[in-house]
Structure 1
Amino acid sequence: MSETLIENIVIYGVVVLVFGLTMWFYLRKLRNQNRMITEKIVQAKSEGLYEPVSLHPVVDPKSCIQSGACIVACPEKDILGIVNGRATTINASRCIGHGACFHACPTQAITLYIGTEKRGVDLPHVDENFETNVPGLFIAGEIGGMGLIRNAVEQGRQAVENLAKGLDRKVAADYDLVIIGAGPAGISASLAAKKLGLSTLTLEQDFLGGTVFSFPRSKIVMTSPMDLPLHGKVRLFETSKQELLDLWQQVIEKHEIRIRENVKVESISRLNGHFEISVLSDEIYTSRRVLLAIGRRGTPRKLNVPGEESPKVAYRLLDPERIREQQILVVGGGDSAIEAALLLADQNEVVLSYRGAAFNRLKPANKQRIDQAKQEGKVTILYQSNVVRIEPQSVSILLDGEEKQREIENDLVYIFAGGELPTQFLEKAGIKITRKFGESVLKHKK
């Protein structure tokens, strides 16, 4: 056998060996990744985090090429993972619907869905142009099912651009457009309307910022850039509530946007080709178009227990740093309740009451922080508990499995039980409410 042949055999043998080792390590890595993701899914199911609660991604296995772009794009972590060559959801109930995975997927394999086959979500009827079943009446933002500030801002702009098409100024009315709500969607819509030259009035039942205004002053409310009409790209990261409100105020003042605060709309009626908007002060405005941007949490959900009307009960926490040496009860198990309890725990005695057996919809960072606070004795957590009565100096709480109520000394009560969809208000305006069971709300156009 010639030396050349031997050398070739050795070279080919080495190449085959290297290739084989590479494939072995690669396959082992894939097996380990599959095992880790599978274990996370099992854990998510055991903790009640696997089933989506609201808006969530659904992956088309035929289109997925396991690039991992969706996983990298998601800032919430462990919402998506790759198992057996395709992306899949893990902790789906933690998804907050920002849609970063949807936009990042290179093969358009992801669609955003609302609700599931078993769990429905009530939503107003809105078409692809953000118009309801009532001609001329549009909806944008959280009330339509899309979460996050950036999404609400984008929808506010798009809704105004759509409603401006075919606007008949021959119809007698005070305004081209009345916008109800001055949260992210309403502010964006107001700016977009100004850009398009529409005569516009914006009404807000509370203060500029809507739901954002009700957050604690230092709360981080935005972690990704957004496009604000007339202003351009907002390249702020880790933006606090106060920073965002200050920016909105500056932009609104610069462009002379008219926003009336502390004005609650009672009804919307369509008459003779225009709308009449009645407010609590008995004023009536007329408009050719109406945009609802009121959010889903505009009306806090109450516990409906004796004593809840007490002045010591609140549904939002604005300045936690000013509250000191108080005995406080926080009610709720979502991120807002957890963040409030943590903010108050530094200078007060805090008890957290939650009706569930475990927290199952928290951001990972909040879950870690509340577990640590419990271990360190900063927060007392009462799982499977319900507030029965609120007294001037105490609260009565009933725990599952206990016949006798616990009476706890108390100075302040903060309730974070979510918000109620203003169904009666919407239906009175003629808007149809339907329950969505796993229907797509954002998909790529083929």
Structure 2
Amino acid sequence: MTETLDIIIIGAGPIGLACGIAAQNAGLSHVILEKGCLVNSLYNYPLNMTFFSTADRLEIGNLPFPSIHAKPNRSEALEYYRRVADAKKLNINLFEEVTNITSLGEQYGVQTTKGTYRGHHVIIAVGFYDIPNLLNIPGEELPKVRHYYFDPHYYYRQKVLVVGANNSSADVALETWRKGAEVTMVIREAELGRVKYWTKPDLENRIAEGSIKAYFNSKLTAIRETEVDILTPEGAITLENDYVMAMTGYQPNFDFLRKIGVHLSPDFKRYPFYNPETMETNLKGVFLAGVICGGMDTHVWFIENSRVHADQIVNTILARRAALV
């Protein structure tokens, strides 16, 4: 495109939408580029997922989020953010993946699978749901291994092994068990991890009564077509198995950040560099917003506490413009 935009936003999740709204309110031209559907990560959440937060903490653009539940679910969130995008008439291009960002002096060129854009500023507001953390064990490439979970009905009368100790693992274990699966959990730690307060007692009771078998202080070591190997404190065991649900978490696209020149911390967390007051990276005019700011520490930033990034960034841009006048 020949037009030079004020802001190019990468990612049409809730925070990307919030950035678009902030740009629009400030009279700044923008486009939001999304490689999938609107709020793509939320769309890929489990069918029956319920948010930890109340609806008011998920609101953006001063638009109320009506919910018939104390805590909204996935379908309500999809409906809400669709209505926000329509009500605000945001400029969004869906199913258009950004492949590179290059410096053009005082501007940036953004290349996508469908074209090229030019902008004065870029906001990277992508999530971390597209790249799973791998187990790195033999057999992980088998089709029976799933890093994503949608509907429990599929696993009726199947032997399901759930790897992990946090919210996703707890939901998968309970939902598949209630739909008739034979469920076993493998947990590296001595106890359950971050689990919603209304879910944790339910799972603990199912484990205590033996309905769900849990191996603590254990790890999955190998996967085969009809069985798995687990290393427990009492020694190695082999179990019959139909599906492995590896709920081991996800990570941002660090390769993309490195490719465009954003600095990452050298440790395992790989925190991307940014100024917490302006959200600007080491690249002048390139900003981060939302969960990507946490690197591998994916339990720091959420919709609730990163909505403010949109105003921080736009206020920074406006202040710099005013200083030039």
Query: Taking structure 1 as reference, are residues 251 and 278 closer, same or farther at Cα in structure 2, changes over 3 Å only?
Result: same
Matched, 1:336 2:168: yes
Out of 122, 138, 142, the position equivalent to 1:290 is: 122
TM alignment of 1:343-382, pairs within 5 A = 343-347=175-179, 348-382=181-215
Which stretches in structure 1 are left out of the alignment for 5+ residues? 1-171
| Corresponding residue number in structure 2 for 1:415 | 246
- Out of 25, 32, 47, the position equivalent to 1:202 is 32
- 1:221-249, Cα deviation, whole Å (9 max, x unpaired): 131414421x5233544100110111111
Q: Is the 8 A contact 1:173 1:274 kept in 2?
A: no
Structure 1 counterpart of 2:90, from 257, 262, 265: 257
Which of 114, 133, 156 aligns to 1:301? It is 133
1:427 pairs with one of 258, 267, 291: 258
User: Aligned-pair distance for 1:252?
Assistant: 1.6
Report deviation, 1:401.
4.5
Shift of 1:296: 4.0
Q: Secondary structure at the match of 1:234?
A: coil
CA distance in structure 1 between the partners assigned to 2:34 and 2:220 by the alignment: 32
Matched with 2:287 is: none
Aligned: 1:274 with 2:131: no
Question: 2:17 matched to which residue of 1?
Answer: 187
2:45 to 204, 209, 215: 215
Give the deviation of 1:297 after TM superposition. Answer: 4.2
The Cα RMSD (Å) is 2.8
* Alignment match, 1:248: 81
Q: Which runs of 5+ in 2 are unaligned?
A: 278-325
Whole-Å separation in 2 of the counterparts to 1:433 and 1:195 = 32
Distance in 2 of aligned mates of 1:275 and 1:185? 21
- Aligned partners of 1:320 and 1:285: how far apart in 2? 42
Higher RCO structure, 1 or 2 (CA under 8 Å, sep 6+): 2
Task: String of CA shifts for 1:285-319, please: whole Å, max 9, x gaps.
Answer: 32221111113444221112222222222222222
Q: What is the letter of the counterpart of residue 239 of structure 2?
A: I
Q: What TM-score do you get using the length of structure 2 for normalisation?
A: 0.71
Q: In the TM superposition, what are the counterparts of 1:32-431 in structure 2 within 5 Å?
A: 173-221=3-51, 222-226=53-57, 227-229=59-61, 232-236=63-67, 237-279=70-112, 281=113, 283-347=115-179, 348-402=181-235, 404=236, 406-431=237-262
| In 1, Cα distance between equivalents of 2:64 and 2:85 | 15
d(CA) in 2 for partners of 1:395 and 1:188? Answer: 44
One-letter code aligned to 2:117: Y
- Residues 223 and 239 of structure 1 are in contact (CA less than 8 Å); yes or no, is this contact kept in structure 2? yes
Cα deviation per residue 1:147-193 (whole Å; 9 max; x = unaligned)?
A: xxxxxxxxxxxxxxxxxxxxxxxxx7543322112222112222333
**Which amino acid counterpart does residue 23 of structure 2 have in structure 1?**
A
Q: 4+ residue stretches of structure 1 with deviation over 6 A?
A: none
Change (3 A) 1:261 1:381: farther
Question: Residues of 2 paired with 1:391 and 1:363: CA distance?
Answer: 32
Q: Compared with structure 1, are the counterparts of its residues 173 and 392 closer, same or farther at alpha carbon in structure 2 (3 Å cutoff)?
A: farther
SS in 2 for 1:252: helix
Distance in 2 of aligned mates of 1:253 and 1:293? 20
Q: Which amino acid aligns with 1:247?
A: Y
Q: Tell me, what secondary structure is at the counterpart of 1:330?
A: strand
Query: How far is the alpha carbon of 1:282 from its aligned partner?
Result: 6.8
Contact 1:173 1:288 in 2 (8 A): no
Q: 2: CA distance between counterparts of 1:314 and 1:207?
A: 21
What CA distance in whole angstroms lies between the structure 2 residues aligned with 1:232 and 1:345? 38
CA drift at 1:203: 2.4
- CA change 1:282–1:259 in 2 (3 A) is closer
For the 8 Å contact 1:180–1:186, the answer to whether it is kept is: yes
Q: Percent identity?
A: 28
Q: How many Å separate the matches in 2 of 1:321 and 1:191?
A: 39
